[in-house]
Structure 1
Amino acid sequence: MHSIVLLIWLTLCAAQDARQRHIANGLTVGAGAFALAYLLWSGSTWLGAPAEQGAWAALLALAFTLPGYALRRLGGGDVKLMIALGLATDGRHVLGVFIGAGLASVCWLALAPRVWLYMGQGLRGRLLYLQPGVSKKQPFAPFLLVGLLLTFAWLR
């Protein structure tokens, strides 16, 4: 059940990022505050890892995302999203999500020019910022969602 809640949350973040290239603070900071409160109250992360692993996962997420933010490849919402994800999961999940997102991003960059032509106009309108060649700074949350799905498949 906890995994489904995490997937729904990340799906909302990914949809907003793909449509607006922005993730609302209510989704990122709100989820991070909830994950931190749950961690402190229960002594474990949302997915059941010990609290120490959640803290280390949040620091790992920060270490992975700050260089991208400094180079203007990632937005602040992506950094906050990964920290919230770290507080809710553990280091293995953060590492898996980040690797899976990287692989999904590379696959999208390679396949998007061909796939984009065959997508329906309504779908292209909803995923406007994922259009190939529009920007060097693509929304990252949709790829994080793919990374989370791959991580869940791998670790379960």
Structure 2
Amino acid sequence: MTYITIITWITLCAWQDAREKKISNQLILYGLGVALIWMFYFGTTLTGQPVSEGITAALLSLSLTLPGYLMGKMGSGDVKMMMTLSLACGSTKILWLFFIATVVMIIWLYSAPKVWNRFPENMKQHLPMLSPEHVNAPPYAPFILTGALFSFPLAN
């Protein structure tokens, strides 16, 4: 059930990021609140890792995303989303997620101009920030969603 909650939250973040190239603070705070309340009440992350693992993952996530933010390649919402996700998941899952998301993003950067034209028009209208025009600074949350969908089964 916790994985469904996490995937649902990431999906909402990814949808908003693909539409507007931003993730609202309200959505981030909702996820952070759930992760922190769970940590304080149960003494573990949402995925059952020790609290120390969640904190380590948050620091690791910050070290992986902060350079992208400082270079202008990632938004602050992406950094906050990854920090929140780290507190919910732990370091092993975050490393897998980050790795898979990066690979999928690189594949998208090279294939977007060819693949985008095959998408249905209504999908193009709902996900405008994934278009080839934004390939130099694409939204990161949709790739995080892909990374989560593939990495969660691997990291268990």
* 8 A contact 2:109–2:135 mirrored in 1: no
* 8 A contact 1:29–1:80 mirrored in 2: no
Partner of 1:17: 17
Relative to structure 1, the CA distance from residue 116 to residue 135 in structure 2 (aligned partners, 3 Å threshold; closer, same or farther) is closer
Q: Deviations over 1:108-127 (max 9, x none)?
A: 11211111111111111111
Q: Please report the TM-score for the alignment, with normalisation by the length of structure 2.
A: 0.96
**Following TM superposition, by how much is the alpha carbon of 1:30 offset from its aligned partner in structure 2, in angstroms?**
2.3
Q: Please report the TM-score for the alignment, with normalisation by the length of structure 1.
A: 0.96
Partner of 1:6: 6
Amino acid at match of 2:86: G
Partner of 1:84: 84
The runs of 5 or more residues in structure 1 that have no matched partner are none
Partner of 2:74: 74
Partner of 2:127: 127
Q: Work out the percentage of aligned pairs sharing the same amino acid.
A: 38
- The Cα RMSD (Å) is 1.1
Q: Deviations over 1:103-154 (max 9, x none)?
A: 1101111211111111111111111111113352110000000011110232
* 8 A contact 2:45–2:51 mirrored in 1: yes
Partner of 1:117: 117
Amino acid at match of 1:88: A
* 8 A contact 1:124–1:131 mirrored in 2: yes
The runs of 5 or more residues in structure 2 that have no matched partner are none
Partner of 1:53: 53
Amino acid at match of 2:102: G
* 8 A contact 2:112–2:135 mirrored in 1: no
**Distance across 1 between alignment mates of 2:30 and 2:9:** 11
